[in-house]
A and B are shown apart, each in its own frame.
Chain A
Amino acid sequence: MAAQAALDRHRVSAIIVSHDGQSWLPQTVAALASQTRAVDYVVAVDTGSKDSSLQLLKSARIRVINAARDCGFGEAISIGVDSLDSAQADTIEWIWLIHDDCAPAPTALEFLLAAIDDRPQVAMVGPKLLGWHNRTHLLEVGVSIAGNGARWTGLEPLEYDQGQHDGVHDVLSVSTAGALIRRDIFEEIGGFDKNLALFRDDVDFGWRARVAGHSVIAASSAVVFHAQASATERRSVDVGGAILQRPLLLDRRNAAYVLLANSSWWLIPWLAIQLLSSAMLRAIGYLLAKLPGYASDELLAIATLLIKPGLIIKARRNRKAHRFVSARIVSSYIPPRWSQLRLSTSGFVEALRSRLLPESAPGQRSILDSVEDEDLLVPAQSVRWFAIFRRPEVTGFLFLAVITLIASRMRLGSLIGGALPASPSGARDLWQMYFQSWHQVGMGSSYASPPWIAVVAVFASILFGKAPLLLTLFFLTAPLLMMWSILTLLRKLTQNPWISVPASFIYAISPVAIAAVNSGRLATVVTLIIAPQVPLLLTNWKRIELQSWRKIFTLTLLVGFLYAFTLIAFVTLLGLVAFALFADYKEVFNDRPLFLERLYKRAVILFVPFILNAPYSFQALTTPSRFLSEPGVSLPGGGSHLVILGNPGGVGALPWWLISPMLLILVVALFSSSSAKTIALYGSGFLSAAVFFSSLAIATHGDSARVNVWTGTFLVGATIAATAAGVVILDRLRAILVTSNFHFRHILAALLLFLTALYTVLTLGWSVTAGATSPVQSSSSTVMPAFLSVEKDTKTLVLREMGSVGAKSIQYYISRGKDIILGEPDVAPRQTQQIAVAAQELIDGSGISSSKTFADFGIKYVFVKLPFDRNIIRTIDGLGGFSRASATSTGVVWRVAGVTGRLILVGEDGVRELLETGEVGARTTVAYPGRVLLTENYDRSWQILQNGYRLQRVVSEQGLPLFIATESGEISLIHDGTIRRAWISFEIIAWVVLLIFAAPAGRRKREIFEKELA
């Protein structure tokens, strides 16, 4: 009774604001009429509705005030308030704001009033907002604003209401939908800001009420259902100031306005930066989602505000007049940054989890299948934790992990060896190599860095720049990643995990996988991981027109990623596209549009990745050996006799007697009647290509000798096909064998399984014993002695006997004082002929002029790495022009006679003077006119500037850049990297554009089905 008496002190006037709300208005009016605590007075303000809203209101006998169509919400409320009778002295006058798209629950008003009854300081109270369509979903229980302008409710998206937020909460503000505001305070602080015609006016009002010394609460016992029609673009936004009638633009603009108008002045610069940066990030996100309109809204919202600073200044002045307490009191209601981050992270993790680990259906049982009595009779089953090991996926991955760990026991550190050079200490070096236009390798080169360096640099950056750690982890986890990748493919071919998991395991220990890991073949390992995803994306290669363009672009991205590591992927795809086009020509050439559609889609998959990897890929056109090369040091592959058995050969490969069942499976599958036959056709194609290319020899990556092409990448295709074909055959065969009498199929299946099992056992044995000592190992040894690294930018000719015992050969290269690092072999220049002749003469003892040649090319030292033929060492001793600098257990060093270095000034009298130089560019002084010789390979981008002018550049007799300095003075040596920078810009733009094309398209809010809305 006391409560009832208290209620009597309040007078509630409901103000409905309608604007094209005929869809929701009937429920709204009905809800108002059915309140357990009746509304004392109802007035509606219609802002020029074009639908039947006006009629609906009038037919409900509600007083309607007409307002202009561009009238904002706050202005409409003011009109409504103005129309009310003057407040009575013995009552507390409340205005209840009702949107035309919200419907209060019958008890809403009663509970709102109950919440404020013993809280006289409350100026505004809001209900718990639930969804209009799904009335169990929480929309808001109070609202705030984040530092970046985001509307902050503290709730998860589409959070289910289980009463978890129930109670009366002190909040910054509440939504105007169903909010109850004390009329006197509303009028005292000037109502809603006229500059906020729609959106965020609620937050602004709450903020102002707070700093005016009042309180704002949310009472969850009062419930209002809200359709959020304007925010979800269910109706047009016609309010004044809404540029282009775009709700998002208005929302963002108003959010920024609220923050800048209400925050403490010293926070404004930080807020401005935060608003701008978050707007840009969101714009990028919208662009990726192919919603350029929203992206422009984000940026325009900030721009429209920033061009009118007077608006903010005026708003701040107004607020200052009504502020009674410090603006800091609202800080407790502003969500801290970490809570935003936590919510975003948990959302992302949840999305990822649901994607990767969907709720498993097998464990669930229909209620119809249950027996009611069962619950009583059967004791509750407890799930034993070790039951997880009965799942083949778990045991398979665990077993592989253990085997990999044992086999990789020599690789638990910074890796080096095989095709893998030493990793640079940090990602910075990789980035530098990728961006720079000139590489200090050998005699220097301007080759474009391959894009895989950028990929490795990105991942290394994620690991805080620890490039060696990245490679160690990568090679350690590579077999597991391979197994996971192929398993995702095999699951599409069979439901039986006892077939798909062992097959995936065998894929991870296939000859090509083992050889690739053991010899440090980065590209083949990446291909082994990525390639199984290609058939998953491209489900219909033959009828490619059925694939959406978005999928085509996604596949293009994936293929581009593979091209970045090796252009063998291009050669492979070229063959596939050529065959497919030939088939298309025979099949659908008469259907011109269909033929063209297939042609376009195939061409996009083939050529767009090629363009994405420009200029590296374009340079391959002039150096065709790059089409068949892999990252890292050039190492020979095995012969065709090994390759036909699926073993790429070379260092680190399985011995010849470990024969995988790949070829047998492919042959058997070729004569099967299932889809395995089609798969085997592709597999045999890959195998044929691998066999053919294994007979070719190329000279590339800083090796002037021709070596057999490594065909690992081709064999990846054949191995995937053989694995998939084997799975299809076994899946089908099992059922046949069980039901049929003993015949040749049983023998064949038994033979196949026996050979596979034999291969598996022997391979595992080899991997953990002999295979563990493969070339790629963790090591900290170096080739170059430390004392040769002390002298900066000094070239040293390094001679070393390479190869196994009995097949040793003498090889040389020019070092810049240190060993090579990852990426450098890929940009290594071709052999310089004069140096090759001089090195040959150095070895055979006829090189009287070798020292002069070396000096001409800036080679200061000759270093022979021991062990080395002592006779040759004596031969070098016997040659003139070399004086021994040291002889240690590491090797013997000779100093080349004469003045030599990187930058040499040659006077008119022929006197040579060494000039100071830096890593690539240099700033130094020439003491007298002469010719400045740069002992780097000639490149048009080399320039020397003196007094702002470029010095004339000519080619020296040795083919080196020579500059004519006509006067003494300071000079600047630069390698102009403009072209490189332009290419990098092009690459970034091309990748981003393709990423946008490949990304799933976002939907405009108006395109979201109502069922999906709360």
Chain B
Amino acid sequence: MKRSLSALLALGLSFTLAILLTTTVDSSVYSQSYPAVVCPPTMSGLSSQISVSSRKTQFQRLENRSTKTIPFNALRLPVSKDSLVISAKGVTPVVWQSRSGSWAGGAICSGPASSQWFVGGSSDITSRGRLIVINSGLSEAIVDVQTYSENGKQPLLSLNLKPKSYSLVNLDALATGDKSLTVHVLPRSGRINAFMIDELGSGLRALGGDLVNPITAASKTLVIPAIPNQLPKKGKKSTAPKTLRILAPSDVDATFTLELLSADGSFVPVGFNSRSISAGVVSEFTLSPKISATVFAARIKSNEPVVAAILSQAKIKERTDFLWSTPTPALVPMAIAITGLVPTIVFTSDAIAVKVEVTFINGKKTLATIKGSDIATWRVPKATRSISIMQTSAETHAGALIASDNGYGYIPITPGSLLTRVEIPHSNIRVLNP
């Protein structure tokens, strides 16, 4: 009996010991890093400034053969020509481009993307827009550009890009004569970013322009958080209407509902409840909401994945500029560099609760908490270097509206480069065993 009990005890002890000794054997080890972000080049006649959060932020010019990086030594760098590759370390740089006396627009500098949708631009006679496709990699790249218009899907355009180079595609060449474009940039290989400049002109008269921010993927729910609503001066006519451009890229027609959210409340404009659109055809709808607030947001729900953006006209110094408000993904903790800009950030959610840390140019920091429901606007203090979203409520979306002497711009509040968690591979001969 004694030996039997001893044997049982030994078994119990070994089991206990095994549980205590068992270390979680996880063969996966990860390396975390922020991929370098790419800012668009400056086209002829444009001026461009890139805001960063630190003077020590490293960058390299795209067309430099060397991979060596150098520091910015400034918080806002005017860029005359080149596209820059910036090691932003998690703080998303913002590029602000403008054509003096004509238009202005903003975009975030972002890391390589596997898919980008640009809802904006035109191929008609007024179009002076361009699609900029950048290969920041050290190998050749192949990129497919698929254009959709009001006439449906256009022939596929394939681009071959040399290492560290970019390619310019005139928008009027994508679907010649068509008015409403939506462009899908799909890299087949290489480290690819794309930007779209939508610029319109009629003869010598500039009709405005904007940097169209991309959408990563089509979705059944889209939230466009910041749409400017320039109120008419007393006694003047009502503001220019907005235009909703929407595309269901799949093979099935979609039915969508548009809901507007503003300080006046949320509502579905007449005619936008369960509205059908044809698959593969870019549709445009005019919006003339009677909203008293200066900004509002839009939420689109569809039974099929769609991409959409809202075009707004705005007058500045008796000139007309336009901007494309694009959907943003849900807000996540992040940081964005806005040196030199004073944006108004619009948050949209059923219940908004966002804690923001503001870092001023002098290095001082302050915290701000934005609360509200449906929509809340927050104007960033002057001399701000960067803002960091510290905490955010669920399903909150944010966009920034920026006004300047040259025009208006829109920037989605979303990280340009996500913290990439790459698994460190380990050697295992098993990979050679089918």
List residues of chain A with CB under 8 Å of any chain B CB.
Answer: 416-417, 421-422, 441-442, 633-636, 639-641, 643-644, 667, 670-671, 677, 680-681, 684-685, 687-689, 691-692, 694-697, 701-708, 779, 781-784, 798-800, 802, 809-815, 819-820, 824-825, 828, 831, 835-836, 839-840, 843-846, 848, 865, 870-875, 877-884, 887
CA distance in complex: A871, B11 (Å) = 49
Specify the chain B residue showing the minimal Cβ separation from A863: B431
Given A799-B431, A875-B191, answer yes or no on A688-B25 (Cβ-Cβ < 8 Å).
Answer: no
Instruction: Identify B189's interface contact among A639, A680, A840, A877, CB under 8 A.
Output: A877
On whether the beta carbons of A696 and B434 are closer than 8 Å, the reply is no
Chain B residues 33-59 with CB under 8 Å of chain A are 33, 35
CA distance in complex: A880, B192 (Å) = 15
B4 interface residue (CB < 8 Å to A)? yes
Q: Which residues of B contact A695 (CB under 8 A)?
A: 17-19, 21-22
Specify the chain B residue showing the minimal Cβ separation from A865: B431
Q: Chain A interface: which of B124-132, B203-211, B302-310, B416-424?
A: B416-424
B340 interface residue (CB < 8 Å to A)? no
List residues of chain B with CB under 8 Å of any chain A CB.
Answer: 1, 3-4, 7-8, 10-11, 13-15, 17-19, 21-23, 25, 27-28, 31, 33, 35, 67, 112, 114, 136-141, 163, 187, 189-192, 420, 422-434
On whether the beta carbons of B189 and A873 are closer than 8 Å, the reply is yes
On whether the beta carbons of A877 and B141 are closer than 8 Å, the reply is yes
On whether the beta carbons of A802 and B431 are closer than 8 Å, the reply is yes
On whether the beta carbons of B137 and A702 are closer than 8 Å, the reply is no
CA distance in complex: A707, B25 (Å) = 6
Q: B30 to chain A: closest CB distance in Å?
A: 9
Q: Known A-B contacts: A640-B22, A798-B431, A813-B432. Give 9 more (CB < 8 A).
A: A422-B434, A684-B8, A684-B10, A691-B11, A695-B17, A779-B434, A811-B430, A884-B140, A887-B189
Given A684-B11, A688-B11, A812-B425, answer yes or no on A819-B138 (Cβ-Cβ < 8 Å).
Answer: no
Residue with the highest number of chain A CB atoms closer than 10 Å, among B10, B138, B139:
B139
CA distance in complex: A887, B141 (Å) = 13
Q: Which residues of B contact A702 (CB under 8 A)?
A: 427-430
Q: A518 to chain B: closest CB distance in Å?
A: 16
CA distance in complex: A703, B31 (Å) = 20
Q: A877 to chain B: closest CB distance in Å?
A: 4
On whether the beta carbons of A416 and B429 are closer than 8 Å, the reply is no
Q: List 15 A-B contacts (CB under 8 A).
A: A634-B430, A681-B7, A684-B10, A692-B17, A701-B429, A703-B427, A703-B428, A836-B426, A840-B424, A844-B424, A846-B33, A875-B191, A878-B137, A878-B138, A878-B139
Q: Which residues of A contact B426 (CB under 8 A)?
A: 703-705, 809, 811-812, 831, 836
CA distance in complex: A255, B187 (Å) = 88
CA distance in complex: A421, B434 (Å) = 8
Q: Which residues of B contact A871 (CB under 8 A)?
A: 112, 114
Given A680-B7, A878-B139, A878-B191, answer yes or no on A819-B434 (Cβ-Cβ < 8 Å).
Answer: yes
On whether the beta carbons of A421 and B433 are closer than 8 Å, the reply is yes
Specify the chain B residue showing the minimal Cβ separation from A873: B189
Q: Which residues of B contact A799 (CB under 8 A)?
A: 425, 431
CA distance in complex: A549, B55 (Å) = 84
CA distance in complex: A880, B420 (Å) = 20
Q: A826 to chain B: closest CB distance in Å?
A: 10
On whether the beta carbons of A802 and B35 are closer than 8 Å, the reply is no
On whether the beta carbons of B112 and A874 are closer than 8 Å, the reply is yes
CA distance in complex: A865, B432 (Å) = 10
Given A636-B25, A677-B4, answer yes or no on A815-B432 (Cβ-Cβ < 8 Å).
Answer: yes
On whether the beta carbons of B138 and A880 are closer than 8 Å, the reply is yes
**Top 10 closest pairs, chain A to chain B, by CB:** A878-B137, A702-B429, A880-B138, A878-B191, A705-B27, A640-B18, A695-B18, A670-B4, A688-B14, A695-B21
On whether the beta carbons of B425 and A811 are closer than 8 Å, the reply is yes
Instruction: Identify A884's interface contact among B15, B189, B420, B432, CB under 8 A.
Output: B189
Q: Which residues of A contact B31 (CB under 8 A)?
A: 840, 843-844
On whether the beta carbons of B191 and A877 are closer than 8 Å, the reply is yes
Q: Which residues of A contact B423 (CB under 8 A)?
A: 809-810, 843
On whether the beta carbons of B114 and A708 are closer than 8 Å, the reply is no
Q: Which residues of A contact B430 (CB under 8 A)?
A: 633-635, 702-703, 802, 811, 813, 825
Given A696-B21, A707-B27, answer yes or no on A843-B425 (Cβ-Cβ < 8 Å).
Answer: yes
Q: Which residues of B contact A634 (CB under 8 A)?
A: 428, 430
Q: Which residues of A contact B190 (CB under 8 A)?
A: 874, 877-878
Instruction: Identify A877's interface contact among B23, B35, B137, B433, CB under 8 A.
Output: B137
Residue with the highest number of chain B CB atoms closer than 10 Å, among A422, A685, A871:
A871
Q: A503 to chain B: closest CB distance in Å?
A: 22
CA distance in complex: A865, B425 (Å) = 14
Specify the chain A residue showing the minimal Cβ separation from B430: A633
Q: A134 to chain B: closest CB distance in Å?
A: 55
Q: Which residues of B contact A800 (CB under 8 A)?
A: 431
Q: Which residues of A contact B192 (CB under 8 A)?
A: 874
Given A798-B431, A879-B137, answer yes or no on A844-B7 (Cβ-Cβ < 8 Å).
Answer: no
Q: B339 to chain A: closest CB distance in Å?
A: 27
Given A810-B423, A820-B433, answer yes or no on A685-B33 (Cβ-Cβ < 8 Å).
Answer: no
CA distance in complex: A114, B23 (Å) = 96
CA distance in complex: A677, B2 (Å) = 12
On whether the beta carbons of B10 and A685 are closer than 8 Å, the reply is yes
On whether the beta carbons of B17 and A416 are closer than 8 Å, the reply is no
On whether the beta carbons of B67 and A848 are closer than 8 Å, the reply is yes
Instruction: Identify B139's interface contact among A810, A814, A882, CB under 8 A.
Output: A882
Q: A820 to chain B: closest CB distance in Å?
A: 4
CA distance in complex: A633, B432 (Å) = 10
CA distance in complex: A636, B430 (Å) = 12
Given A689-B14, A798-B431, A799-B431, answer yes or no on A880-B139 (Cβ-Cβ < 8 Å).
Answer: yes
On whether the beta carbons of B18 and A694 are closer than 8 Å, the reply is yes
Q: Which residues of B contact A706 (CB under 8 A)?
A: 25, 27
Q: Which residues of B contact A883 (CB under 8 A)?
A: 139-140
CA distance in complex: A694, B432 (Å) = 26
CA distance in complex: A644, B187 (Å) = 52
Q: A712 to chain B: closest CB distance in Å?
A: 16
Q: Which residues of B contact A779 (CB under 8 A)?
A: 434
On whether the beta carbons of B27 and A840 are closer than 8 Å, the reply is no
Specify the chain B residue showing the minimal Cβ separation from A784: B432
On whether the beta carbons of B187 and A442 are closer than 8 Å, the reply is no
On whether the beta carbons of B4 and A844 are closer than 8 Å, the reply is no
CA distance in complex: A873, B137 (Å) = 12
Q: Which residues of B contact A671 (CB under 8 A)?
A: 1, 4
CA distance in complex: A667, B141 (Å) = 67
Specify the chain B residue showing the minimal Cβ separation from A892: B189
Q: B143 to chain A: closest CB distance in Å?
A: 11
CA distance in complex: A688, B7 (Å) = 9
Q: Which residues of A contact B23 (CB under 8 A)?
A: 697
CA distance in complex: A691, B13 (Å) = 10
On whether the beta carbons of B139 and A813 are closer than 8 Å, the reply is no
Q: Which residues of A contact B8 (CB under 8 A)?
A: 667, 670, 684
On whether the beta carbons of B428 and A811 are closer than 8 Å, the reply is yes
CA distance in complex: A779, B433 (Å) = 11
Q: B29 to chain A: closest CB distance in Å?
A: 9
Residue with the highest number of chain A CB atoms closer than 10 Å, among B1, B10, B141, B428:
B428
Q: Which residues of B contact A640 (CB under 8 A)?
A: 15, 18-19, 22
Given A644-B15, A877-B189, answer yes or no on A813-B138 (Cβ-Cβ < 8 Å).
Answer: no
Specify the chain B residue showing the minimal Cβ separation from A640: B18
Q: Which residues of B contact A809 (CB under 8 A)?
A: 27-28, 423, 425-426
Q: B21 to chain A: closest CB distance in Å?
A: 4
Q: B87 to chain A: closest CB distance in Å?
A: 11
CA distance in complex: A179, B317 (Å) = 143
Q: Which residues of B contact A811 (CB under 8 A)?
A: 425-428, 430-431
CA distance in complex: A416, B25 (Å) = 26
Q: Which residues of B contact A831 (CB under 8 A)?
A: 426-427
On whether the beta carbons of B429 and A813 are closer than 8 Å, the reply is yes
Q: B138 to chain A: closest CB distance in Å?
A: 3
Given A843-B423, A874-B191, A878-B139, answer yes or no on A825-B429 (Cβ-Cβ < 8 Å).
Answer: yes
